[in-house]
Amino acid sequence: METDSELPSEIIGFQILSRISAKSLMRFKSVCKSWSSLIRSPSFVNAHRKFYRNKHSHLLLTTWDESARQQHFFSVQINQEGSPTLVTHLLKLPTPPGKNVERLYEALSINGLVCLYLSDTLFPNQTDHNHPVRIFNPCTRECIVLPHDLPAYRTIRVTHHFGFSSQTNEYKVLQVKRFQPLNSTRDMSFMVKIFKLGTSSWRRIEADIHDLPFDPLKCQFERRSVCVYGAIHWMHDSTQNIIAVFDLKDERFRAIPLPEDYDYRIHGINDKLGNIFEMEGCLALIGDKQLRQMNTMELWILKDYQNQVWVKETITFPFSWRELVYPVPFYTIHTGELLLLQSSRLLRQDSACKSTSMIVLQLQSSLIQSDAQGNLSGSSVLLAAEEEQALLLGPAYFGHPVVNANKDKHWFQLGMEEAFFLCYSLKCLKIAGEDKHPKDDHELWQYMKSQKAAFPVFYKAYSHLRTKNWVVRPGHQYGVDFVAYRHHPSLVHSEYAVLVSSEGDAVANGRLNVWSDVHCTLRLCLGVVKTLLVLTISKNGDDAASPSCLANCTVDERTVTRWNLEQSREEDTTDDVESQAMD
């Protein structure tokens, strides 16, 4: 008897596909027309976004290659534990030369879509009106250029703002122009246009400057805007003490009052980003009249948007605001932590130092821009590093410097796991053989295996720890495979002595086969104040013929400690005392 084994589309779409990564979904659109239509539907997009909203966050970071006049964009994923993971290079854009300041791209992001426009360094949101605006999708790597027309005005200030309305399920780019017409002595005028994604042209919004509930010529359009609740918000620089609002559904301007105890003239920090930002989906204000002398910052958060209910909270810094180089709140990630922007650097409120991942990001960017190439040398790789890269390889803890007579070159010797990680995982290093031609991933994998039979197992262990944002170094001096640091080595000694084993085979390094090995290793770890971490790699039936096998491998972590009889007795005594006290 035949039965219909096809799953309902609701289960396929909202119980299965909604949990798939965006990168995989782009491939799944080609399975059939129904899947393609489902994945593109607004209801599915909302379900997918809600599922991943509390799983991780992505940061869009950028660097500028001055020599090539190119701007690079990278994506950094922050996992469920709040740790930055590896960096993905997204795209590069040419930057034109500026007369007085460098013209670099600024970005606005809504639900993963990014609006890019050329700006100057004085006002981040003021657009270079000689260049078009772009919309970029990091998941599909698709980039569209919005229609562009050169204005015929004597002087002009153009700003662009990106927003989304959940009521209409529409993304819109708002263009605000303040200008003086040619052959005219009149004061500055005001014009607003809007572009809806999915259309082909800009549309003018009729807005009489005299009918608006605020003076648009005094509104901080050139500073940061915030889109929440289907509306774009700006601070208003006047005695009105209001926030200017543009409703994306009705396409009309309005105003909402500032908190009663907030006066922009007193509390305003006057940072180039402005005093307004988004905090956990709410509109928030920053600033304090005594901030420059103290180590606290006041936040006003609009918890109830409809009823205009503001709640005041306080951030306490470990040092004075001035000593910390004036950090200001930037955004909140899915863990509830608040990111602070400090002199063009992103900081976490609870971070005490520059994270290892940020150093690795800088190294990755530098190697990509220089098209770096290493050379195979037996069971290691030699890399001729530039001055900037030499200063980053050390703090990022990749390789060892090699002394040489050539002062113009800095040579580093990379271990096989380190070199393959930079080549295969970070994709920022090419590796050549004796013929001086770069090897592809498969060729390099086969070479590494020929030099070290257990290389697949050891590399999986190394990359597993590196993707947790740990620093991993060789552990031969301690009689183990690796030593691992959860925090930067400049702050702490290595916490873990790592041994690697392979499930189904003998232990990959031939260790811990008998009890005497376990006892000796634990005694050694105790002597150097480290915890023994055993990583068991399961290949799950894969023959490790190519690096694609790494996706099928799983890692089991186990820490092994030595039982201390005296400590156990003390803990038992403490438990008895606590039990008697409770009775």
Cβ–Cβ under 8 Å, residues 418 and 396: no
Cβ–Cβ under 8 Å, residues 428 and 422: yes
At 130, the amino acid letter reads N
Other residues' Cβ atoms within 10 Å of the Cβ of residue 120: 17
Task: Give the tokens for residue 220.
Answer: 């901080």
CA distance 15 to 9: 10
105 catalytic residue (yes or no): no
**DSSP labels for 497-516?**
EEEEEETTSS-TTS-SSSHH
31 class by beta-carbon count within 10 Å (0-12 exposed, 13-18 middle, 19+ buried):
exposed
485 catalytic residue (yes or no): yes
Helix (H) or strand (E) holding 463: helix 455-466
Helix (H) or strand (E) holding 192: strand 189-196
393 class by beta-carbon count within 10 Å (0-12 exposed, 13-18 middle, 19+ buried):
buried
Q: To 5 degrees, how large is the angle CA 491–CA 494–CA 499?
A: 160
Order of strands, edge to edge, in the sheet holding 471-474? Answer: 471-474, 482-485, 496-502, 531-538, 554-560
Coil, helix or strand at residue 43: helix
From 485, 488, 496, 539, the catalytic residue = 485
CA distance 300 to 399: 48
What region, left, alpha or beta, does residue 362 occupy, with left being phi > 0 and alpha being psi -120 to 50 degrees? alpha
Cβ–Cβ under 8 Å, residues 265 and 215: no
Other residues' Cβ atoms within 10 Å of the Cβ of residue 557: 14
530 catalytic residue (yes or no): yes
- Pick from 160, 169, 179, 174: nearest CA to 251: 174
From 249, 312, 493, 519, the catalytic residue = 493
CA distance 366 to 347: 21
From 72, 236, 530, 539, the catalytic residue = 530
Coil, helix or strand at residue 157: strand
**DSSP labels for 329-349?**
EEEE-TTSPEEEEETTEEEET
Active site residues: 485, 493, 530
